[in-house]
């Protein structure tokens, strides 16, 4: 009673205060899960993924026939004339640094309070590697970024350059890699494993020349080899199986963000591709009863780079004659609501060249521009009016990517390594799976390798990084003039510099 | 038992021996020897009132004490010895100075007070009808702004703002204490029951309330149990209201003309009818209130009980508030003066149908050529409806197709036991326990024809909440005179705990509208996973230790010091406790020898005080990192919940700290014919709470609620009361209050927290702009925008420095602040015989108000499906799109006649009916202003003051006829 007279502890009822999570291991794993759920923003409308799609040469979002999508935020990305307050850039920044904060917090709390339990080191290692992944993305986009790795630090985080940050990410991976699980089993699906850590390391080394001026092709080769030699992954017999609705069993998946029509339904954590690319005429074909925004289409020049024999073109894009639900060719008839008179009718045949379109001047007609169809649209009718997520999981790291990186690392080292690259059986399997002839060592030029990567990994979010690494990012392409060197880094959002005065803006902005 | 019988016997014997009842008669006269009619003469349970000749007749026992009282005169007491006793009353020139003033945990007298405290008695209040006791304070206290921002809604709350805005986002309302219960809801009492209201204004007075004192303290004392004969009082009143001012859209014929002449492209929007949408949704509201109070008892046991019934109609149809109140107070003395006990019980039931203010906006914008009904439209339920029109809802359908019934029960009980430690004169120990609980239930059903819910097949919403507040206060008090030294001291402890919880249910998709909210589970949305439920619980605890000592020497030199140690569960772990000191001194110059005998001077006192107070009126749990479910994660084939932080931890979170210096003069001349008070103050509030953007990481969440800013308020307050006319037949009392306050936001950011939003006052479509800014060095509520120059020939607005018709936001000008420079209240009472007439005026001078009606509707580009404001016809040269500028910012100066009351008192000698008073009053009678909108008196609290909204419930003018009977 005497204590009650001066006790001022707050009692919380309708939220969970942090302390409560450390009562049981089950709650602790729920607590750690937030480092993973922050990954799910990858596939939403204004995300790291869509930002990279726009900045690359694969996708464009011109104004459509009803005047939508004329937002400046897309035009800025399309033309590489990016403003410091661009929403997608800010969302991408938040994606990285909210994720880093979540990892820092989970690590801090586990180390500080949790008693030892089975798998504690593994959970900690997972947090370190997810954080390394977020830092890797931030290094890629902004280069010079705030460094904050401990919750105990006070004050504004300092800004560090690319070389320092690459070193940090490398050290983290090397230090914690071995604590991770190696096996690719359902228990570790969607989680960080040794395969994921090595793929991340390979990507870091592969871009090392661009980011730190120090080529590390051999290190990249070795990291890829570790993934290959783990024998946990293999190529799917069928390319399309990687992208089907229930694609969680794919042997190619090294690091995936699982999505669900039911559980990842809100706008900040969904995989929203069908909303972004389909329109109201195509929705019924897929039995999709949801608002469709008719925005994202393929860039015609990129579409034109496919070999006619390449089955990945049809596996990635939707074009040509479309069909209705019953399989009949889609014929659109538009009637006046009042008089019922037919005002317009046309066959729904998509023209991927978008002939006659002037970017953001003439509205893009529904039949202009190839739609993004790499991930199979579910036709089970589960996508209803309020649902915004597809059920397809997003394989961020895929075995085919590792093989292509491995080949690239070999080719870049030149000499006998080129022949070694041509002899990688999985590489040729990627070619033949796509209906193409195997590539000879002579054909293994960097340009050809780039083209192969761009088709195999189209729309998977790596185009911008690859274009930069292959020295093509500053070239002019459809809807974009030639760029300047500073554009390879993105501007640091104004709001972030306002809340951290240590951050200097990247050159050129 | 034997002892008791013995005692009783002794009492009977004593009565038998001494009690010789006799009739005492006499005449009561004033200081000039003129008879005083209506004076009360009381001896125990017998009672008399003097007649027109001042005569009385009373039966009393020899030796009994008789008290004669008359308003404005000192009570006269004599002991019955003979059959005749004439009395000459002495006017109570000193009465005012001896009036008791509540100062928090105690009382003092007006002459002894050293802080800035305003004490209002029932005579000071306007007579008439109020929806809340807060309304009685309007214009009565210099420095206290009382506004009802929601116009004529009978369910609206008043906004109280003392000495300017001293916070950014914490609460601005003063601490309200009703009969000892802190943080009480002023709506739980009835305005007729208010006996006194004391307002502690300055820091030295309020510091005894620590972290709740910064916004001032209002101490309300209701009428209490009194010893004396039984009295029964009935008060009944009936009121009728009319619309005072409103914004008028175009009539149907004007609408047709404007479309044909200026907007012929919109002829399709002419539907041929003539509907006054405003009249379709309003009525002439009639309200009535009845109050019955019964009191009486002996010195050792007395009670007062009140039953009150009110039925209030709002201007908007279906907007009703009914209130039923029961309250009883019992006072008991026990153990030979050792123990005083005071019990309170009250129960208030309020049943109301809330107003949807959006109906007024929809009625304003609705096309007057549309009919109300369209019998053939079965989808809309027979209402006229334009399919697909966004945010365009038939106001009559909104009114008819939704029922909203809320019930609030306030139950309160409190108990005070005072132990008088008789051997040590002046020492007592006081314990006060109170338990207050509020239960709220709201049920809302929108039928399948509610215009924004067509296709949803009805929507039911039930919400419940309960909150309870337990308070315990224990104080030791000591007061004593040692020769010329007078000492009063108090030490105490207080503990308060609030617990509240709420829940809500929503479902749609009902087969029939007949269920309403009575079978919420049958709606189909529940099965489809689209129904909604929520519940919430929170608690807070508040603990304090405090002490105060007051000293005076010969009632000439006065001093007071107080100290409070205050703790709140809301504060961060590093800052749970806070110390609040105060000191004040006074010098009653009029008590000095050289002034003491000046006949023209009653009182002249100068005083000064310094005090520190705090503000902890923000939500619970703000210092904690709280986790909420956010999203799901995939684990081994299953989806589980995951959590994310929704706030940062801030273990340093603390109160906002205000230090205040106050200096004042109290004066009274010519036997109170002229009296008043002047106060000057400077309030310096630091550690203001605000939300800042912070980097993530190291923070967990992108915003932090923390103490950074500083606001200064300085001002002057003058109250002058005079009795210009005082004769046997006619008295005129008048009181003028003047106050001026200057607000400065001294600091909004610091080195660590630089990024807090500073653009305020968002105006929606078509302006879509924030029109106010928080700028260091300027006042809160400062408007920014382009300076309007005039209208170009092409019909668009021209601004100073505009480029292509626009002025970039960084070049906007400071257009002035919302706060008035001067607030004035002027109350008058005339007594002529049995007639009383009172009138209260109120004025605010300076200050700006944003006329959102003009900004949004005074342009012809907006006409079409929707209506515009008729004032566009005053100047049709503007045909451009509306852009925010000084054009829509107007001077908010106004003069209002708040209240006029006329009453007549009948004095009866009848033992059954003692008094009858009939009164008639009018409220909000007149508003003189240059403002072109509805009412320049808008909300001045918060960070977005001075903006008149477009969903405005018009203020009404009300007329009340009342009858007061005393038995």
CATH number of the domain residue A90 falls in: 1.25.40.390
Cβ under 8 Å to B: A residues 461-500: 495-496, 498-500
Residue of A nearest to B502 (CA): A14
Using an 8 Å Cβ cutoff, are B428 and B390 in contact?
no
Alpha-carbon distance of B722 to B669, in angstroms, equals 9
Distance from CA of B633 to the nearest CA of A (A): 6
Alpha-carbon distance of B662 to B766, in angstroms, equals 46
Residue B746 phi, psi dihedral angles, 5° rounding: -80, -35
State the pLDDT at residue B96. Answer: 66
SS3 assignment, position B938: coil
State the pLDDT at residue B89. Answer: 80
Interchain CB distance below 8 Å, B632 and A37: yes
Please count the residue pairs, one from chain A and one from chain B, whose beta carbons lie less than 8 angstroms apart. 156
Q: List all residues 6 or more positions away from A422 whose beta carbon is below 8 Å from its beta carbon.
A: A428, A438, A439, A440, A441, A444
Cα B825 to chain centroid distance, Å, stands at: 16
Residue of A nearest to B756 (CA): A499
Domain range for A418 is: 18-261+394-499
Rounded to 5°, angle at Cα B7 from B3 and B10: 140
Cβ under 8 Å to A: B residues 474-493: 493
Residue A121 lies in a domain: yes
Give the pLDDT confidence of A96-154 residue by residue, as tens digits. Answer: 999 999 999 889 888 887 677 777 888 899 999 999 999 999 999 999 999 999 888 87
Interchain CB distance below 8 Å, B643 and A11: no
Using an 8 Å CB-CB cutoff, list chain A residues near B702: 94, 98, 499
Residue A201 lies in a domain: yes
Place of tokens 């998977």: A460
Residue of A nearest to B626 (CA): A17
Cα dihedral A114, A120, A123, A129, rounded to 10, equals 100
Residue A487 lies in a domain: yes
Distance from CA of B635 to the nearest CA of A (A): 7
State the pLDDT at residue A206. Answer: 97
Interchain CB distance below 8 Å, B631 and A40: yes
Using an 8 Å CB-CB cutoff, list chain A residues near B543: 5-6, 8
- Who among B571, B630, B695 is closest to A500 (CB)? B695
Residue of A nearest to B700 (CA): A101
- Who among B493, B568, B695 is closest to A8 (CB)? B568
Distance from CA of B23 to the nearest CA of A (A): 59
Query: What are the tokens at A436?
Result: 């193409």
C-alpha closest to that of B716 among B759, B679, B666, B761: B679
Distance from CA of A424 to the nearest CA of B (A): 33
Residue A330 lies in a domain: no
Using an 8 Å Cβ cutoff, are B340 and B418 in contact?
yes
Cα B964 to chain centroid distance, Å, stands at: 25
Total domains in chain A come to 1
Whole-complex ipTM: 0.85
Using an 8 Å Cβ cutoff, are B457 and B506 in contact?
no
State the DSSP string of B81-138: -SSB--EE--B-TTHHHH-EEE-SSSEEEGGG--S-EEEEEGGGSPPS--SSGGGGGT
Residue of A nearest to B702 (CA): A98
For B545, other C-beta atoms within 10 Å of its C-beta total 18
Residue A329 lies in a domain: no
Using an 8 Å Cβ cutoff, are B157 and B176 in contact?
no
Spans of chain B below 50 pLDDT: 1-18
Using an 8 Å Cβ cutoff, are B139 and B840 in contact?
yes
Interchain CB distance below 8 Å, B627 and A16: yes
- Who among A37, A38, A148 is closest to B698 (CB)? A148
- What pLDDT tens digit does each residue of chain A (509 aa) get? 455 678 888 888 888 777 777 766 677 777 888 889 889 999 998 999 999 999 999 999 998 887 788 878 888 999 999 999 999 999 999 999 999 999 998 898 888 876 777 778 888 999 999 999 999 999 999 999 999 998 888 788 999 999 999 999 999 999 999 999 999 999 899 999 999 999 999 999 999 999 999 999 999 999 999 999 999 999 999 999 999 999 998 999 999 999 998 888 776 788 999 999 999 899 989 988 888 889 999 999 999 999 999 999 999 999 999 999 888 999 998 887 777 888 888 999 999 999 888 877 788 988 999 999 999 998 888 887 667 789 999 999 999 999 999 999 999 999 999 999 999 999 999 999 999 999 999 999 999 999 999 999 999 999 999 999 999 999 999 989 999 999 999 999 998 998 898 999 999 99
Distance from CA of A221 to the nearest CA of B (A): 31
- Who among B624, B630, B693 is closest to A17 (CB)? B624
- The region, left, alpha or beta by phi > 0 then psi within -120 to 50, assigned to residue B210 is left
Residue A408 lies in a domain: yes
State the pLDDT at residue A114. Answer: 66
Cβ under 8 Å to A: B residues 639-658: 639-646, 649
A326 touches chain B (CB under 8 A): no
Residue A484 lies in a domain: yes
Interchain CB distance below 8 Å, A5 and B543: yes
Query: What are the tokens at A480?
Result: 């974009």
Using an 8 Å CB-CB cutoff, list chain B residues near A38: 644
Using an 8 Å Cβ cutoff, are A232 and A184 in contact?
yes
B624 touches chain A (CB under 8 A): yes
Using an 8 Å CB-CB cutoff, list chain A residues near B628: 15-16
Residue A71 lies in a domain: yes
Give the pLDDT confidence of B801-827 residue by residue, as tens digits. Answer: 988 888 999 999 999 999 999 999 999
Cβ under 8 Å to B: A residues 252-291: 258, 260, 262-264, 266, 269
Distance from CA of A97 to the nearest CA of B (A): 6
pTM: 0.84
pLDDT, chain B, mean: 91
Using an 8 Å CB-CB cutoff, list chain B residues near A156: 695
Distances (CA, A) of B786 to B282, B812, B814, B887: 38, 5, 9, 9
- Who among A18, A153, A496 is closest to B627 (CB)? A18
Residue of A nearest to B644 (CA): A34
Residue of A nearest to B621 (CA): A10
- Who among B620, B633, B634 is closest to A10 (CB)? B620
Using an 8 Å Cβ cutoff, are B117 and B103 in contact?
yes
Q: List all residues 6 or more positions away from B228 whose beta carbon is below 8 Å from its beta carbon.
A: B42, B45, B47, B295, B296, B297, B302
Interchain CB distance below 8 Å, A37 and B640: no
C-alpha closest to that of B324 among B386, B391, B426, B407: B407
Residue of B nearest to A6 (CA): B543
A126 touches chain B (CB under 8 A): no
Interchain CB distance below 8 Å, B694 and A499: yes
Distance from CA of A9 to the nearest CA of B (A): 6
Distance from CA of A494 to the nearest CA of B (A): 11
Using an 8 Å CB-CB cutoff, list chain B residues near A157: 695, 697-698
């Amino acid at each position: 009673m005497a204590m009650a007279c001066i006790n001022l502890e707050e009692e919380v009822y309708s939220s969970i205060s942090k302390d409560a999570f450390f009562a049981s291991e089950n709650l602790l794993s729920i607590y750690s899960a937030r480092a993973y759920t922050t990954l799910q923003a990858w596939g939403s409308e204004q995300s790291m993924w869509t930002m990279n799609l726009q900045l690359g040469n694969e996708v464009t979002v011109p104004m459509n026939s009803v005047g939508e999508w004329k937002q400046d935020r897309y035009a800025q990305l399309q033309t590489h004339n990016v403003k410091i307050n661009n929403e997608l850039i800010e969302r991408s920044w938040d994606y990285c640094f909210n994720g880093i904060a979540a990892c820092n917090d989970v690590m801090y709390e586990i180390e500080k309070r949790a008693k030892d339990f089975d798998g504690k080191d593994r959970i900690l290692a997972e947090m370190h590697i997810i954080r390394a992944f977020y830092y890797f993305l931030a290094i890629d986009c902004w280069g010079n970024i705030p460094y904050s790795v401990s919750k105990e630090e006070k004050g504004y985080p300092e800004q560090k350059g690319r070389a320092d940050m690459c070193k940090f990410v490398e050290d983290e991976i090397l230090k914690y890699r071995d604590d991770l699980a190696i096996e690719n089993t359902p228990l570790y699906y969607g989680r960080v494993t040794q395969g994921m850590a090595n793929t991340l390391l390979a990507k870091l080394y592969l871009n090392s020349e661009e980011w730190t001026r120090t080529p590390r092709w051999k290190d990249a080769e070795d990291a890829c080899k570790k993934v290959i030699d783990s024998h946990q992954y293999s190529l799917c017999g069928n390319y399309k199986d990687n992208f089907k609705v229930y694609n969680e069993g794919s042997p190619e998946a090294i690091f995936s963000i699982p999505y669900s029509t039911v559980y990842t339904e809100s706008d900040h954590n969904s995989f929203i591709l069908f909303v972004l690319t389909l329109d109201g005429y195509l929705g019924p074909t897929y039995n999709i009863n949801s608002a469709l925004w008719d925005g994202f289409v393929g860039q015609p020049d990129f579409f034109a780079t496919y070999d006619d024999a390449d089955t990945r073109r049809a596996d990635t894009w939707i074009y040509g004659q479309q069909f209705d639900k019953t399989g009949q060719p889609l014929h659109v008839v538009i009637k006046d609501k009042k008089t019922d008179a037919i005002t317009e009718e046309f066959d729904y045949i998509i023209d991927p060249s978008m002939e006659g379109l002037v970017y953001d001047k003439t509205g893009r007609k529904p039949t202009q521009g190839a739609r993004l169809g790499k991930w199979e649209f579910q036709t089970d009718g589960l996508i209803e009016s309020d649902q915004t997520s597809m059920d397809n999981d997003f394989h961020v790291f895929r075995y085919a990517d590792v093989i292509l990186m491995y080949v690239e690392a070999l080719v870049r080292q030149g000499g006998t390594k080129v022949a070694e690259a041509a002899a990688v059986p999985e590489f040729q399997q990627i070619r033949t799976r796509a209906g193409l002839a195997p590539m000879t060592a002579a054909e293994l030029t960097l340009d050809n390798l780039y083209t192969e990567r761009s088709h195999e990994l189209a729309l998977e979010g790596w185009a911008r990084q690859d274009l930069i690494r292959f020295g093509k990012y500053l070239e002019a392409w459809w809807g974009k003039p030639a760029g300047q060197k500073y554009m390879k880094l993105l501007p640091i959002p104004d709001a972030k510099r306002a809340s951290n005065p240590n951050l200097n803006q990247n050159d050129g902005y | 038992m034997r002892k008791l019988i013995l005692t009783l016997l002794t009492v009977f014997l004593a009565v038998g021996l001494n009690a010789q009842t006799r009739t005492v008669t006499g005449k009561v006269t004033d200081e000039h020897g003129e008879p005083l009619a209506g004076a009360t003469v009381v001896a125990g349970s017998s009672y008399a009132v003097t007649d027109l000749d001042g005569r009385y007749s009373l039966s009393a026992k020899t030796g009994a004490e008789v008290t004669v009282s008359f308003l404005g005169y000192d009570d006269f007491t004599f002991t019955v010895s003979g059959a005749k006793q004439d009395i000459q009353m002495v006017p109570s020139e000193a009465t005012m100075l001896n009036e008791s003033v509540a100062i928090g945990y105690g009382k003092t007298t007006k002459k002894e007070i050293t802080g800035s405290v305003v004490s209002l008695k029932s005579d000071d209040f306007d007579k008439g009808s109020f929806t809340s006791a807060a309304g009685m304070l309007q214009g009565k206290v210099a420095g206290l702004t009382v506004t009802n921002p929601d116009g004529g809604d009978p369910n609206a709350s008043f906004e109280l703002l003392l000495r300017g805005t001293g916070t950014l986002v914490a609460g601005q309302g003063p601490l309200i204490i009703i009969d000892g219960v802190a943080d009480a809801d002023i709506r739980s009492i009835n305005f007729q029951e208010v006996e006194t209201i004391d307002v502690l204004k300055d820091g030295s007075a309020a510091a005894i309330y620590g972290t709740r004192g910064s916004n001032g303290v209002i101490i309300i004392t209701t009428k209490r149990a009194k010893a004396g004969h039984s009295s029964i009082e009935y008060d009944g009143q009936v009121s009728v209201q009319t619309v005072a001012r409103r914004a008028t859209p175009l009539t149907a014929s004007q609408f047709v003309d404007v479309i044909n002449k200026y907007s012929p492209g919109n002829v399709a929007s002419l539907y041929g009818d003539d509907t006054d949408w405003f009249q379709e949704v309003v009525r002439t509201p009639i309200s009535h209130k009845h109050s019955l109070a019964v009191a009486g008892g002996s010195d050792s046991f007395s009670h007062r009980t009140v039953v009150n019934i009110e039925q209030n109609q709002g201007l908007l149809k279906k907007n009703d508030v009914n209130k039923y109140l029961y309250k009883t107070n019992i006072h008991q003395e026990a153990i030979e003066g050792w123990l005083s006990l005071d019990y309170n019980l009250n129960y208030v039931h309020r049943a109301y149908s809330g107003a949807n203010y959006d109906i007024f906006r929809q009625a304003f914008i609705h096309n007057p050529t549309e009919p109300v009904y369209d019998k053939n439209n079965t989808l809309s339920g027979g209402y006229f409806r334009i399919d697909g029109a966004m945010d365009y809802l038939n106001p009559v359908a909104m009114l008819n197709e939704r029922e909203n019934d809320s019930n609030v029960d306030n139950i309160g009980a409190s108990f005070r036991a005072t132990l008088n430690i008789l051997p040590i004169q002046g020492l007592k120990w006081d314990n006060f326990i109170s338990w207050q609980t509020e239960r709220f239930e709201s049920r809302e059903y929108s039928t399948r024809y509610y215009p924004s819910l067509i296709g949803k097949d009805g929507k039911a919403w039930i919400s419940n909440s309960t909150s309870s507040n337990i308070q315990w206060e224990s104080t030791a008090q000591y007061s004593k005179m040692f020769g010329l030294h007078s000492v009063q001291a108090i030490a105490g402890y207080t503990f308060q705990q609030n617990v509240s919880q709420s829940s809500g249910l929503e479902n749609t998709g009902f087969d029939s509208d007949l269920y309403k909210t009575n079978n919420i589970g049958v709606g189909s949305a529940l099965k489809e996973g689209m129904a909604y439920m929520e519940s919430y619980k929170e608690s807070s605890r508040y603990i304090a230790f405090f002490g105060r000592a007051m000293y005076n020497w010969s009632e000439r030199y006065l001093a007071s010091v107080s100290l409070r140690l205050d703790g709140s569960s809301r504060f961060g772990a590093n800052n749970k406790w806070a110390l609040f000191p105060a000191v004040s001194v006074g010098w009653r110059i009029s008590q000095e020898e050289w002034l003491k005998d000046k006949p023209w001077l009653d009182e002249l006192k100068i005083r000064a005080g310094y005090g520190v107070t705090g503000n902890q009126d923000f939500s619970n749990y703000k210092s904690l990192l709280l986790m909420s479910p956010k999203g799901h994660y995939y684990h081994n084939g299953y989806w589980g919940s995951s959590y994310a932080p929704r706030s940062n931890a801030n273990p340093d979170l603390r109160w906002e700290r205000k230090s205040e210096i106050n200096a004042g003069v109290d004066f009274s001349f010519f036997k109170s014919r002229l009296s008043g008070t002047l106060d000057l103050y400077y309030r310096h509030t630091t550690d203001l709470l605000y939300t800042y953007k912070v980097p993530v990481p190291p923070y967990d969440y992108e915003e932090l609620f923390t103490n950074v800013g500083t606001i200064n308020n300085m001002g002057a307050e003058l109250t002058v009361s005079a009795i210009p006319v005082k004769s046997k037949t006619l008295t005129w009392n008048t009181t003028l209050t003047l106050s001026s306050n200057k607000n400065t936001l001294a600091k909004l950011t610091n080195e660590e927290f630089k990024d807090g939003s500073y653009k305020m006052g968002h105006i929606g479509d078509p302006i879509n702009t924030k029109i106010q800014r928080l700028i260091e060095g300027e006042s809160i509520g400062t408007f920014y925008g382009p300076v309007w120059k005039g209208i170009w020939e092409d019909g668009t607005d021209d601004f100073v420095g505009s480029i292509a018709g626009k002025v970039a936001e960084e070049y906007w000008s400071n257009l002035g602040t919302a706060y008035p420079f001067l607030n004035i209240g002027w109350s008058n009472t005339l007594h002529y015989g049995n007639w009383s007439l009172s009138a209260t005026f109120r004025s605010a001078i300076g200050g700006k108000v944003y006329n959102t009606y003009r900004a949004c509707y005074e342009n012809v580009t907006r006409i079409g499906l929707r209506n515009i404001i008729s004032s566009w016809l005053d100047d049709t040269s503007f045909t451009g799109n509306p852009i925010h500028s000084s054009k829509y910012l107007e001077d908010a100066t106004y003069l209002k006649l708040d209240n006029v009351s006329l009453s007549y008192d009948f004095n009866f000698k009848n033992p059954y009916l003692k008094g009858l008073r009939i009164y008639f009053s009018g409220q909000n009678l007149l508003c003189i202003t240059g403002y072109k909108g509805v009412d320049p008196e808008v909300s001045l609290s918060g960070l977005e003051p001075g903006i008149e909204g477009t969903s405005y419930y018009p203020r009404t003018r009300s007329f009340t006829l009342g009858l007061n009977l005393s038995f």
